[in-house]
Amino acid sequence: MGNIHGHSFRITTFGESHGPALGVIIDGCPPRVPFDAAFLRSELDRRRPGQSALTTQRKEADAPEVLSGVSADGLTLGSPIAIVIRNGDQRPQAYAEMKAAYRPSHADFTYDAKYGIRAVEGGGRSSARETAARVAAGAVAKTVLRHACGARIIAWVESVGEVRMPAAAKAPTLKQVEATPTRCPHPATAAKIDALIRDARADGDSVGGVICCVIENLPAGLGSPVFDRFEADLAKAMLSLPATKGFEIGSGFAGTALRGSAHNDEFVRKGGRIRTATNRSGGTQGGITNGEDVVFRIAFKPTATVLKPQKTVRPDGKATELSAKGRHDPCVLPRAVPIVEAMAALVAVDHWIRDRGQNAPFGRCGRKA
């Protein structure tokens, strides 16, 4: 269980890290939306490893095959969209160690505890590889959002280790984010992060960091007041990503130090709309979007795979020492940027569909034609 996400725009993913393929079925996609195959490929390329010296050298072609749900002339049909991505460059022999000992802070032990069995090659479902299916689905979600309400999503690396970029007044552009392999849009900080990651790699070690993400141009009214608050679904989506340890929206943990009178966002009229003068709320109030930018941050721990020797135990409980020899990604942050965006898009499109199903005015929402 647990491989289905969303209520009305619902995705189901599959695929072991070193099995034949991984993929996703999207159920509930609105019909008549131009399917953007080039965008799908470019999003997958953004996630793909092996693009720079900063990431794992695993070679993955990540060529998506769309098996259903799109008409001959490139429109969504409203039926399930299945996308499959073949795995290549499998090196199961590099993972023999996984069988012999539980890798610290990996999921080897918990898989055995839960399932009593596991795919010993490459971490099974608990692998960054799994996220390719999310990015594929997220590309479709972004396309739908763009057509439905013009919403845009942009994420970037804000800090790695103790190197943090200065606070910016507004979200960067995609071009600024993609300007360096670090995906930190602040050039001076990007250079420091680049050096930090290279240093960690040279050390056989790894580093973590924080990603910031903004959803712009989302209409007010998405989300709901109790369990399915917009930020609650975002938090779940983000904490469902490998290596995440925290989520905050708007003022987040830092906001807990403010007084209410300093934290509240006053309402103002701007450009004919009701807006807030500040955005410490981070774009939602009472669990519902208020039309301001949705702004949130995600903490990623340093990657668990390090090449330094570590103490651990074997499945039978005997103590042993382990030195990883598999491919090694010293910092997942740059590659996590498109994954964060994908999950944000999936949450947003799901709530967009749910909201108009329940709340659009009767009669206004005439169907078809």
Measured CA to CA, the distance from residue 315 to residue 99 in angstroms comes to: 8
- What are the angstrom distances between the C-alpha of 259 and each of 53, 118, 219, 262? 45, 50, 29, 5
Of residues 211-240, those binding its own copies (CB under 8 A): 219-229, 231-240
If residue 144 lies in a helix (H) or strand (E), which one and from where to where? helix 131-149
41 interacts with its own copies by CB under 8 A: no
95 interacts with its own copies by CB under 8 A: no
**Cβ-based neighbour number of residue 251 at 10 Å:** 19
Among 57, 258, 323, 325, indicate the residue that binds its own copies (CB under 8 A). Answer: 258
Encoded one letter per residue, x for contact with its own copies by CB under 8 A and - for no contact, window 327-346 reads --------------------
Among residues 299, 296, 301, the alpha carbon closest in space to that of 344 is found at: 296
Which residue type, as a one-letter code, is found at position 189? T
Cβ density class 103-120: b for 16+ within 10 Å, e for less? bbbbbbbebeeeeeebbb
Among 117, 167, 169, 202, indicate the residue that binds its own copies (CB under 8 A). Answer: 117
Among 305, 338, 344, 348, indicate the residue that binds its own copies (CB under 8 A). Answer: 305
Among 39, 41, 75, 293, indicate the residue that binds its own copies (CB under 8 A). Answer: 75
Phi then psi for residue 62, to 5 deg, are 50, 45
30 interacts with its own copies by CB under 8 A: yes
Which residue type, as a one-letter code, is found at position 299? A
Of residues 126-155, those binding its own copies (CB under 8 A): 126, 130, 147-149
Of residues 167-196, those binding its own copies (CB under 8 A): none
Residue 172 Cβ, how far from its own copies at the closest point, in Å? 20
Residue 175 Cβ, how far from its own copies at the closest point, in Å? 26
Among 89, 187, 253, 323, indicate the residue that binds its own copies (CB under 8 A). Answer: 253
Taking the least distance from each CB to its own copies, the nearer of 51 and 267 is 267
Measured CA to CA, the distance from residue 295 to residue 284 in angstroms comes to: 9
Measured CA to CA, the distance from residue 46 to residue 62 in angstroms comes to: 11
Among 248, 336, 340, 344, indicate the residue that binds its own copies (CB under 8 A). Answer: 248
245 interacts with its own copies by CB under 8 A: yes
Among 171, 197, 214, 249, indicate the residue that binds its own copies (CB under 8 A). Answer: 249
Of residues 264-283, those binding its own copies (CB under 8 A): 264-269, 274, 276-277, 280-282
Among residues 141, 148, 152, 153, the alpha carbon closest in space to that of 5 is found at: 141
